[in-house]
Structure 1
Amino acid sequence: MIMVHGAFRREFGPLAELARGVADGDRERVELVAGHIELISYMLHHHHQAEDTAIWPRLLERCPEEIAPSVHLMEEQHERLAETITELEAAVAAWRGTGEAAGGTAVAETLDRMVPAVLEHLDAEEQQVLPLIEKHITAAEWYEMTAKIVESTPQDKTLVILGMMIYGGSPQTVQEAVGTLPPDQRDFIKEAAPKAYAAYVEQVYGMPNAPHGDILNG
Structure 2
Amino acid sequence: MTATAVRPTGLIPAPRAAADDATTQVARPEPAACRAVAYQRVLHQLVRRELRLLADLATWAPPGEDQRTAALTRHADLVSRVLLHHHAVEREAVWPALLRAAPAPARDAVEDWTARCARIDHMLRDLSTAARQWQVAGTDPARSAFASACRALADAVDAQTGEEERTLLPLLAEHLATEDWAAITASSHCRLSGPEQLFVLGLALEDSCAGDRARLLGGLPWSARTAWRVYGARRYRSAVVRLRGAPPAS
Aligned amino acid, residue 96 of structure 1: Q
Residue 136 of structure 2 corresponds to 97
Q: Does 1:21 align with 2:60?
A: yes
Aligned to 2:161: 122
Counterpart of 1:59, as a letter, is: L
User: Which amino acid is the alignment partner of residue 115 of structure 1?
Assistant: A
| d(CA) in 2 for partners of 1:186, 1:24 | 39
Verify the 8 A CA contact 1:22 1:101 in the aligned structure 2.
Answer: no
Q: Does 1:65 align with 2:98?
A: no
* Counterpart position of 1:212: none
Matched positions, count: 211
Q: 2:72 is aligned with what amino acid?
A: V
Deviation digits for residues 139-196 of structure 1 (CA, Å, limit 9, x no counterpart): 5543554565554223331110011111122222212222222234334335544333
- Alpha-carbon distance in 1 for matches of 2:237, 2:183: 27
> Do the aligned residues in 1 keep the contact of 2:99 with 2:107 (CA within 8 Å)?
yes
Task: Select the structure with the greater relative contact order (CA < 8 A; seq sep ≥ 6).
Answer: 2
Structure 2 gaps, min length 5: 1-39
User: CA–CA distance in 2 between the matches of 1:193 and 1:118?
Assistant: 28
Who is 2:200 aligned against? 161
Matched position secondary structure for 1:169: coil
Q: 1:39 to 1:93 in 2, by over 3 A?
A: same
8 Å contact kept, 1:166–1:194: no
Write the mapping of 1:109-188 to structure 2, written as runs, cut at 5 A: 109-139=148-178, 141-142=180-181, 144-146=183-185, 148-188=187-227
Distance 1:147 1:153 in 2: 16
Separation in structure 2 between the aligned mates of residue 190 and residue 4 of structure 1, nearest angstrom: 21
Q: Alignment identity in percent?
A: 26
Match for residue 195 of structure 1 among 234, 240, 250: 234
Q: CA deviation at 1:125?
A: 1.1
Separation in structure 1 between the aligned mates of residue 62 and residue 180 of structure 2, nearest angstrom: 46
Q: TM-score, normalised by structure 2?
A: 0.77
Verify the 8 A CA contact 2:101 2:176 in the aligned structure 1.
no
RMSD after superposition: 2.0
Greater CA drift, 8-17 or 186-195: 186-195
Contact conserved, 2:93 with 2:184, CA < 8 A, in 1?
yes
CA distance in 1, matches of 2:92, 2:47: 20
Q: 1:146 to 1:23 in 2, by over 3 A?
A: farther
Please show how residues 198-217 of structure 1 align to structure 2 within 5 Å. 198-209=237-248, 215-216=249-250
CA deviation vs aligned residue, 1:93-123 (integer Å, no higher than 9, x gap): 1111122222111112222322111001111
Q: State which structure, 1 or 2, has the greater radius of gyration over its C-alpha atoms.
A: 2
Are 2:115 and 1:85 equivalent residues in the alignment? no
Structure 2 letter corresponding to 1:104? R
Q: Distance in 2 between matches of 1:99 and 1:143?
A: 46
Contiguous gaps of at least 5 residues in structure 1: 210-214
Rounded Cα–Cα distance in structure 1 between residues aligned with 2:234 and 2:175: 35
Looking at structure 1, the residues matched to 173 and 230 of structure 2 have their Cα atoms a distance apart, in angstroms, of 29
Q: Displacement, 1:138?
A: 3.5
CA contact (8 A) 1:91 1:103 kept: yes
